[in-house]
Amino acid sequence: MKRKCVKGCIFAPYFDADTGAAAFAAVHKLIPIGKRVDAIATLCYEAQARLRDPVYGCVAHIFALQQQVQFYVPFPPHLAAGLSGQRIPCTLSL
């Protein structure tokens, strides 16, 4: 990275003179230009979730979504048959 931070850059304190260049280069390598808008949107979402729920943050929302998926995804037919008391044909050949 050949450019330096502009005066008043809000990220300058996080990329100090000792390790800043390497950390900055790592961030730029990890998050390509086409994904930076998504990365910032994710940071904003996580920050807002942490304000709403200081303990769990966005994990609370993820957990709620997982619960919904478990509720709405039906059992596979062979498992549903077993739950309803029907006999499940054995497909094993001995």
Pure H helices in 1-94:
20-30, 36-52, 58-72, 77-83
CA-closest candidate to residue 3, choices 25, 31, 27: 25
The C-alpha atoms of residue 56 and residue 46 are separated, in whole angstroms, by: 10
Sequence ranges of the domains in the chain: 1-30, 35-87
Per-residue pLDDT of 27-77, as tens digits, reads 888 888 888 889 989 999 999 999 999 999 999 999 999 998 888 777 676
pTM of the predicted model over 0.85: no
Q: What is the pLDDT of residue 79?
A: 66
pLDDT at residue 24 in the model? 82
Burial 31-63 (b: 16+ CB within 10 A, else e): eeeeeeeeeeeeeeeeeebeeeeeeebbeeeee
